[in-house]
Amino acid sequence: MEPPKDQPPSSAYPPSGSCNNCGGPTISEPAPQASLPDMSPPPNYRPIRAPAINVPHNPQAIILSPVPHAEKVPVVTPPYQFQRPVKRIHSPDDIRRFQESASFKNFLGFVVSLSESIDGHKIADPCHVSPTVATIVSILETLLRWIDEIPPVPMSSRYGNISKALVHEFLPDEFKESTIEIVPYLFDSFGNASRIDYGTGHETNFAAWLYCLAKMGIIKEEDYHAVVARVFVKYLELMRKLQMVYCLEPAGSHGVWGLDDYHFLPFIFGSSQLIDHKYMKPKSIHNDDILDNFSSEYMYLSCIGFVKKVKKGLFAEHSPLLDDISGVPNWKKVNSGLLKMYKVDVLQKVPIMQHFLFGWLIKWYDSSFVLSRFLSIVTSGCIMWFVDWVLYHGTD
């Protein structure tokens, strides 16, 4: 659109501080721009809910992934070589190495075994509670009391020595030296002290701590039911209280595209509890009466109730993934789908697993991985030699 003929185009106007007729400089200087008065900068804004910093999960990868199966945890034997665990995962290539290792498969199999142990059981159902399990529950109850007794104040390494002392309460004498390796997993189970956040990676550290105890034979298979119904339920109670009192930010949240801002495993264990339930189906999460009356017995319902408590608005808008899962016909499919999703969206994600620790109990490289890589290289080398030979000599 051309400007009116009696008005020059905008480019014809001289810059500010110039004469409108000839374009030369004017005597008076242009008025200076008003500046803000000197004052302290505004405080940093901390949102109640962290934005989605990761890309949404890959549904195709989850669909194509096989359903993980339960595995027995091999118990270590002397000589013990406990060592301080360190971080090893820094890139997608490291994730692939971890995924191919026996440690990855056995740890995931341990999670599946815990899930199967609670299949069809309420939280309050009777179960075998060993002295070790009872002591762990007592430790978590102690930490719950500390939240009330110790106000939130900045302190460095506040729980390091205390964690070691608590773990010593149930360790046999032959495993006293194991604290150098297993305490860091427990310490990292309660969130990051610098960022004041918590997420599925910290929850995975707690599962890894339990896995280490299983590898040492301190937790046995007959304890698995109580580990979920007593230990993990108490841990979940502790973490929810920490989230509310200390205002923990979600670590690595997917935003609305994630299953939950903080947790994943209680959804797996909770869906296992509801497998083959006569009356409650996945769509029952939309019934507030069911949530009010049965949340204390079923972890999945408890998680849904907690999400509805801390998030406002329509459930389908702030938790679309959980809303979609409610349309699955039965809890068996929900459970198997969540196990696959945990494998893909948690254990195979660099932003989460870059903080995971590896030592002697959870090895970064193991003999089976080294052997498989060697055979792969040898096999690929033989195939390439054969292809070169055929191309050179022909097929005659």
Residue 38 has pLDDT above 50, yes or no: no
Residue 18 has pLDDT above 90, yes or no: no
Question: Is the Cα torsion angle 86, 61, 251, 167 positive or negative in sign?
Answer: negative
Residue 151 has pLDDT above 80, yes or no: no
Checking DSSP bridges between strand 86-87 and strand 197-198, what pairing results, if any? unpaired
* Mean pLDDT rounded to a whole number for the chain: 83
Q: Name the band, by pLDDT with cuts 50, 70 and 90, for residue 395.
A: very low
Q: At what angle do helices 102-117 and 200-215 cross, to 10 degrees?
A: 90
E strands, 300-365, where?
Answer: 357-358
- pLDDT, tens digit, 9 for 90 and up, residues 177-216: 999 999 999 999 998 888 888 999 999 999 999 999 999 9
Average pLDDT over residues 103-113: 98
Residues 6 or more apart whose Cβ sits within 8 Å of residue 209: 182, 185, 186, 189
Confidence at residue 159, expressed as pLDDT on a 0 to 100 scale: 44
Contact, 230 vs 210, CB < 8 A?
no
Among 37-41, 80-84, 135-139, 336-340, the minimum mean pLDDT is found in: 37-41
Q: Which residue has the higher pLDDT, 69 or 163?
A: 69
Question: Which string of DSSP letters, residue by residue, matches 116-131?
Answer: HHTTT--TTS-----H
Q: Name the band, by pLDDT with cuts 50, 70 and 90, for residue 166.
A: confident
Confidence at residue 35, expressed as pLDDT on a 0 to 100 scale: 46
Highest mean pLDDT: which range of 216-230, 301-315, 341-355: 216-230
- pLDDT, tens digit, 9 for 90 and up, residues 324-371: 999 999 999 999 999 999 999 999 999 999 999 999 999 997 555 555
pTM for this predicted structure: 0.77
Confidence at residue 390, expressed as pLDDT on a 0 to 100 scale: 54
Q: What's the rounded Cα separation, in Å, for the pair 385 and 375? A: 15
As a three-state string, the secondary structure of the chain is: CCCCCCCCCHHHCCCCCECCCCCCECCCCCCCCCCCCCCCCCCCCCCCCCCCCCCCCCHHHHHHCCCCCCCCCCCCCCCCCCCCCEECCCCHHHHHHHHHCHHHHHHHHHHHHHHHHCCCCCCCCCCCCCHHHHHHHHHHHHHHHHHHHCCCCCCCCCCHHHHHHHHCCCCCHHHHHHHHHHHHHHHHHHCECCCCEECHHHHHHHHHHHHHHHHCCCCCHHHHHHHHHHHHHHHHHHHHHHHHHCCCEECCCCHHHCCCCCCCHHHHHHHHHCCCCCCCCHHHHHCHHHHHHHCCCCHHHHHHHHHHHHCCCCHHHHCHHHHHHCCCCCHHHHHHHHHHHHHHHCCCCHHHHCCCEECCCCCCCCHHHHHHHHHHHHHHHHHHHHHHHHHHHCCC
Confidence at residue 126, expressed as pLDDT on a 0 to 100 scale: 96
Average pLDDT over residues 380-390: 59
Contact, 348 vs 95, CB < 8 A?
yes
Among 64-68, 329-333, 353-357, 389-393, the minimum mean pLDDT is found in: 389-393
Residue 21 has pLDDT above 50, yes or no: yes
Residue 45 has pLDDT above 50, yes or no: no
Residue 46 has pLDDT above 60, yes or no: no
DSSP assigned state of 13: S
Q: Which amino acid is at 323?
A: D
> Among residues of the chain, what percentage have pLDDT more than 90?
61
Confidence at residue 64, expressed as pLDDT on a 0 to 100 scale: 79
